[in-house]
Structure 1
Amino acid sequence: MSRNVITIDADASVIDAIKTMLSHHISGLPVVDRDGTLVGILSDGDFIRRVEVGTEKRRGRWLAMLAGTNQVALDFARQHGRKVRQIMSPKPITVEEDIPLEQVVQLMESHGVTRFPVMRDKKLVGMVTRTDFMTAIANPRLEGLPSSGDDDQIRTSVIAALAHAPWRPAALNVSVHDGIVSMRGSIRSDNAHKAAIVAAENIDGVKRVEDQLVKITYPPPEEDYGGGDFVSLEVEPSTEDDQPL
């Protein structure tokens, strides 16, 4: 998360808020009152529907009736408001400082938001955004990890990584030479194809993956029938009941 949080006063002007966001290259601002208490959040999405650029919502009489007087009034205030408190989203969803990342992701996905104010004892101490996940993934410490294991170990690891995946290739053949993985076999879909390559590339020590997988248009017999080879059934001798009438 970002600990150096830039905030905006609820009574600040919309123009001041825009200037602050542009000058600091940020897409969201926590909104605080004069006591520093978090009262809302302002994001770049709050400026999409604005009268200044001609994008305010225009409803006919019947649509206005369907939306309801309260919603129409709220839209007007947010699209014409001059103060931050008039256009901000009040009562923002917040997270505690020690929340697991998995829960942050779930909240972002379920609420369709890209940022959360981070709280400690009801005080704002940071902001967590989608950008923080990008920064963590691109951490230089994760790059250039030392290679571990020889070719045989790499091959064993690749096979193990694919062994229990529901999209694993059929008739998979894996060979490794000097860290270069060659994969042959049949795959059912483009997504399964991509997943198999990614799984191999994520094994420590893999320098490159030579893709020789072939897409098939129907399930291979051994998977279609639950595994194993076809077995020819013995022909049972005919009986009197089998004779034509």
Structure 2
Amino acid sequence: MRVADVMTRNVVSVTPQATLSQAIDAMVRAHISGLPVIAEDGRLAGILSEGDLLRRPELGTEKPRASWFSALFKAGHLAQAYAQTHGRRVDDIMTRDVVIVDQNERIEEAVLLMEQHGIKRLPVVEDGRVIGLLSRADLVRVLAEFLRQPYEEQPVGDNAILAAIQAELEAQPWAPAGSIRMEVHNGVVELSGAITDENQRNAVRIIAENTPGVQSVRDNLLWIEPMTGIVLTSSETSDGTKPT
């Protein structure tokens, strides 16, 4: 999947000369937490987000005044910080060093950029002009669409279910595939064997539940403490009840 498949194309934006109150009004009306700042020639000038508005004297949240020592050696930096926290125009407040993404980039790479830079949105730029915006909300929206889609209705045999679960277990480095046994009868998966970490239990159950054709999962896995060999847990079914 590419960025162009997910991004928002009708982008709410402001100009650098807009007042801060105008920008905030636009964010509130559109129910968004940030928006690109676009110059008159259509090129990206910056981005304004809620994070840029956290330190404000109106809120009583500005940082404590710097010491005379810092003021002596960091006057330019402190002046810039003052302008950003006290300015009333978008170009005084906005973040100018913006991380952007191309519309043909893979979604995986876009998410990596968000994680690396600790940001919630990426302007999608082509020839210097904003053609869209990719935000976390866009990704969540697409995820919701996938989750609402039912599994294929065509019947899936027990052997195919067993093979699919086993293949997924073997593909996961954390999964003790060799110590887990499985049986499938009419779509009901019976898990047995041993795990050495209780966190593996939920992950193994999710693998089984996400496999097309599975009706329910019975968890008979034993959690064995690796240092002592003591069994620390009892079995449950996928709906949280004890098997009969």
Question: 1:51: Cα distance to partner?
Answer: 0.7
After TM superposition, the structure 1 = structure 2 runs for residues 121-160 of structure 1, keeping only pairs within 5 Å, are 121-139=127-145, 143-147=149-153, 148-160=155-167
Report the counterpart of residue 104 of structure 1 in structure 2: 110
Report the counterpart of residue 36 of structure 2 in structure 1: 30
Q: Kindly indicate whether the alpha-carbon contact (under 8 Å) linking 2:14 and 2:35 is maintained by their aligned counterparts in 1.
A: yes
Q: How many Å separate the matches in 2 of 1:40 and 1:23?
A: 20
Displacement over 6 Å in runs of 4+:
none
Instruction: Decide which moves more: 84-93 or 203-212.
Output: 203-212
Question: 1:219: Cα distance to partner?
Answer: 6.7
TM-score (norm 2): 0.82
Report the counterpart of residue 196 of structure 2 in structure 1: 188
Q: How many Å separate the matches in 2 of 1:209 and 1:67?
A: 66
Q: How many Å separate the matches in 2 of 1:168 and 1:136?
A: 28
SS at match of 2:92: helix
Pairing partner for 1:200 from 197, 203, 208: 208
Q: Kindly indicate whether the alpha-carbon contact (under 8 Å) linking 2:189 and 2:214 is maintained by their aligned counterparts in 1.
A: yes
Question: 1:178: Cα distance to partner?
Answer: 2.3
Q: Kindly indicate whether the alpha-carbon contact (under 8 Å) linking 2:195 and 2:201 is maintained by their aligned counterparts in 1.
A: yes
Higher relative contact order, chain-length normalized (CA < 8 Å, sep 6+) = 2
Q: How many Å separate the matches in 1 of 2:148 and 2:228?
A: 39
Alpha-carbon RMSD: 2.3
Q: Deviations over 1:172-230 (max 9, x none)?
A: 12122222212112112233222212222221111222222222210799xxxxxxxxx
What amino acid does structure 2 have at the position aligned with 1:103? E
Question: 1:121: Cα distance to partner?
Answer: 2.2
Alignment of 1:215 with 2:226, yes or no, is: no
Report the counterpart of residue 176 of structure 1 in structure 2: 184
Tell me which structure has the larger Cα radius of gyration: 1
SS at match of 2:220: strand
Report the CA distance shift for 1:67/1:79 in structure 2 as closer, same or farther (over 3 A): farther
Q: How many Å separate the matches in 1 of 2:56 and 2:182?
A: 58
Q: How many Å separate the matches in 2 of 1:135 and 1:129?
A: 10
Report the counterpart of residue 235 of structure 2 in structure 1: none
After TM superposition, the structure 1 = structure 2 runs for residues 16-95 of structure 1, keeping only pairs within 5 Å, are 16-61=22-67, 64=70, 68-95=74-101
Q: Deviations over 1:84-136 (max 9, x none)?
A: 00000013111111111121111111111111110122221000011111111
Q: Deviations over 1:139-168 (max 9, x none)?
A: 158621214421222122212221343322
Report the CA distance shift for 1:220/1:121 in structure 2 as closer, same or farther (over 3 A): farther
